[in-house]
Chains A and B, each alone.
Chain A
Amino acid sequence: MTITSSNRRRVRDAGPSGWLAAPALAFFLVFAVVPLAGVVFLSFTSWDGLREIRLEGLASWTTVLTDPVTGNALLVTAKIVFFSFIVQAPISLLLGVFTAGSQKYRAALAVLYFLPLLLSSAAVAIAFKALLDPNFGLGPGLQVPLLIQDWLGNSDLVLFVVVFVIAWQFVPFHTLIYQGGVRQIPTSLYEAAEIDGAGRVRQFLNITLPQLKYTIITSSTLMVVGSLAYFDLIFVLTGGGPGYSTRLLPLHMYLTGFKANDMGAASALGVILIVIGLGLALLLQRLGGKNRNDSQLEGA
């Protein structure tokens, strides 16, 4: 499949051999595409992780689709994806615009803003677990009665705590994306608006937001697909509890497969996760319009 000059008019136009892409492709095929097919296959089997894999037909699917815990996990996932997005998107957009400014103190702030990028989810989860401790954490420390709560033990509160901790960890990354996007907006647009007498809010609404369209799509896609894969943070922070209140889909998949040893059902959950992720990503791309080529849509 070498892309040579065979059907090309000028020899110097010949691109490189497509085989240069082969090593990357091979890795990706073996460890991503084959498992992708594998997870579909395994969802029709029964396997405890150790013994033989046996074909079972739709048994795992029936189990998964009739199990109320699955519905609950879907609901928890939807809530976490939705609230994470609602919280993170505006904060990172505004912080991105803010840090794109050039005063020295903003640069100094930005040094600290991006610290959470360095921490592993396990570290973040452990830190917040200690911080939110009803006896030795923030609440008793600051002596604010409102803050003295069993944050992680209260099933009404815990979801919002999780959303907050996710935001704490991931807003810096999206801020960075927006900061880069804002810095690419031509200054002349603002100068023109200034001359026309447009205030800061108008400039933001009429220049910054439209110019950031593709940045918003990129960030949102990464945010949504990323939140479908949240696992480490919630696994360490709450373990899915109390009860099932933070047991979102990836965690439910892990617990079904590796704790309850039902790999067939876990694979069915994996397939559901993949379908949702792909669907949401395509939806976001569609919302963004089609006037850009694929690669830029994904990564702009």
Chain B
Amino acid sequence: MASTTQLPAAPEAPVLTHAAPRLNSRRAGRRRPNLPGGLGGWLWLAVIVLPIYYVVITSLKNQAGFFATNPMLPPAEPTLDNYRLVLENDFARYFLNSVVVTLGTVIPALFVSFMAAYAIVRGKGRFVNWTNNLFLLGLAIPLHATIIPIYWMITRAHLYDTLLALILPSIAFAIPVSVLILSNFMRDVPNELFESMRLDGCSDWAMLWRLALPMTKPAVITVGIYNALHVWNGFLFPLILTQSPATRVLPLSLWTFQGEFSVNIPAVLASVVLATLPLLVLYIVARRQLISGLTAGFSK
């Protein structure tokens, strides 16, 4: 299983008295292949891939093929008819709504969280501490339990069934984790840099954008991606705060689609594939950034 091809030198030596430092392969010391790890790894791969495989092949079947053939076999005559049906059913509008809500949430959330993180890391005093503790508390509370007052506020503000109704609370809910990740990163920016900029007469605002931002760019990207994933896939706010097709976002469209086409399972699964496709493209393009960003963001 775990082939040791990268470590040709080590294998048989009974005692590694003085292993040469291998900086970029940290399991260098391990000699035997990790059999249980490898087996478990492949097993989990099957668990992950099988459902995805099923969804994709089924979405390419026509109704007759779906009922007649073995569900696990790919279709004899793959068809894109299901995709056409989904695309004809206003998929583009739901997609655009999702884009608007996601960008409308992520950009302001990043902006305010970044300023807050800067104030929390560099600032001192009761106000800043208190703010920080409040955000930390927000992490520990299932904020979705506050959905009823949010519903009340949104209806009273006459924002019900608008995209803004989704954006405003989403920004607020994104703040605790964003501030946490950003401030964790910002603590590592050496204080001397700020002090020397201060001596040069820089304002806070200038330091924020010309020093803190470039120094924490990976964290900013991480937070952006994390929030974007959350908002793009969000379901509860759209379910409660919107109603008409004009404000429908993708996850909700999957659900309504399932209701409308309940007998046409291949079409429903085609909508699942279509809704995931944009994120998949993003994942393929930005995988390294996404994974390393998320890893660092939560393990720091």
Chain A: residues with CB nearer than 8 A to chain B? Answer: 1, 3, 12, 14-21, 23-25, 27-28, 30-36, 38-39, 41-42, 49, 53, 91, 94-95, 97-106, 109-123, 126-128, 130-131, 133, 136-138, 140-142, 168, 171-173, 176-177, 179-181, 183-184, 187, 190-191, 193-195, 197, 200, 215, 218, 221-222, 225, 228-229, 231-232, 235-236, 250, 253-254, 257-258, 263, 266-267, 270-271, 273-274, 277-278, 281-282, 285, 294-296, 298-300
Minimal beta-carbon separation of A282 from chain B (angstroms)? 7
A118 x B40 contact (CB < 8 A): no
Smallest beta-carbon distance A138→chain B, Å? 7
Chain B interface residue bracket vs A = 35 or more
> CB distance A168 to B51 under 8 Å?
yes
Residues 108 to 139 of chain B near chain A (Cβ within 8 Å) = 111-113, 115-116, 118-120, 122-125, 127-128, 131-139
User: What are 10 of the A-B contact pairs (CB < 8 Å)?
Assistant: A25-B134, A34-B149, A106-B41, A109-B41, A115-B52, A127-B55, A183-B26, A229-B145, A274-B145, A278-B140
Contact surface of B with A, Cβ cutoff 8 Å: 2-3, 5-6, 15-17, 19, 22, 24-30, 32, 34, 37, 40-42, 44-45, 47-52, 54-55, 58, 66-67, 70-73, 111-113, 115-116, 118-120, 122-125, 127-128, 131-153, 168-169, 171-173, 175-176, 179-181, 183-184, 195, 198-199, 204, 207-208, 229, 232-236, 239-240, 250-252, 254-255, 258, 265, 268-269, 272, 275-276, 279-280, 283, 287, 291, 294-296, 298-300
| Contact A112 B45, beta carbon cutoff 8 Å | yes
Min distance, Cβ B125 to any Cβ of chain A, angstroms: 4
Q: Which residues of B contact A299 (CB under 8 A)?
A: 139, 180-181, 184, 298, 300
Q: Is the CB of A194 within 8 A of B136?
A: no
Among A141, A168, A273, A285, which residue has its beta carbon within 8 angstroms of that of B47?
A168
How long is the Cα–Cα vector from A173 to B152 in the complex, in angstroms?
Answer: 33
Contact of B251 among A123, A138, A285 (CB under 8 A): A123
- B38, closest chain A residue (CB): A98
Which of B142, B252, B258, B265: most chain A CB closer than 10 A? B142
CB <8 Å contact, A176 and B295: yes
13 new A-B pairs (CB below 8 Å) besides A24-B175, A100-B26? A1-B125, A18-B119, A20-B116, A31-B153, A105-B3, A106-B41, A113-B45, A126-B254, A130-B55, A137-B71, A190-B29, A250-B144, A266-B148
